[in-house]
Amino acid sequence: MKIYIDGQMLDEKDAKISVFDHGLLYGDGVFEGIRFYSGRIFRLEQHLVRLYESARAIALTIPMTIEEMAEATLKTVAANGLRDGYIRLLVTRGVGTLGLDPDRCPKASVIIIAATIALYPRERYEQGLTLITCATRRPTPASLSPRVKSLNYLNNIMAKIEAKQAGCEEAVMLNEQGYVAECTGDNIFVVKGGKVTTPPTYSGALDGITRHAVMELMAKLGIECREEVMTRHEIYTADEVFLTGTAAEVIAGVSLDRRDIGTGKPGPITLRLVEEFTKMANSEGAPVPY
């Protein structure tokens, strides 16, 4: 495997970072997870715009232009000879001395990894995910905007641990007011009476790239979709629920807190969106220069 670090393409065994990197020491940095299908990187531009916005929000200067970042990302995928897979693009605050002060780090560091990924087993896409409501809440926008994809994902990891310990694959996370925010790494959508709703970003949801892509698909298919504040009641009483995310793509949620959602199986709108998203993902994107 070839990994890009600060302008160099390195073998995996040689791809190392300093123990004084503030991304490691303090989770100080931002990242993007990006998918590529059939030799094309899906929504690369949108991902990079979000990366640079996240960096700007935390006063982190990325030491290359967005065009240079796009080129480096394409070259990393090409160097690994992959046609389908997942990119993890990280920008850390960089190497510095001990202490929280970001000024101790003279230059940010860029790391790009291209590999394969399978977030859930194939049978979960056929049968759907079981969900719980976790006790871990999403941070309030007053502490950190949910629109910033920071390197500190401990909040999400704690929620994932709760789900795993309960024997479930995913957890629904609430905000401090008790409204639905998102799942541990995915946005959530509820289907009721043929109409779809999803929590707004101000409820604690990430402004997901796949979320937007699926909302575009619904508009083309004539499926009404609204952003609305919701509680667990809307999930409990839904006809269908599905999750979206770069790694997860589109996948059904079939129960919450041991209550079946709808029939307890992936519903027709969810299955249609899975099919249409697969077509979209395999037909558009930035071509990789192999």
- Nearest alpha carbon to residue 137 among 170, 175, 164: 175
Give CA–CA dist 91/77, Å, rounded: 17
DSSP 81-125: T-SSEEEEEEEE--B--SSS-GGG-SS-EEEEEEE---SS-HHHH
Q: Quick check: is 164 catalytic?
A: no
The one-letter amino acid at 211: R
Question: What are residue 29's DSSP bridge partners?
Answer: 92
Catalytic option among 149, 164, 192, 195: 149
Q: Are the C-beta atoms of residues 34 and 41 closer than 8 Å to each other?
A: yes
Contact of 89 with 51, CB cutoff 8 Å: yes
Active-site positions read 149
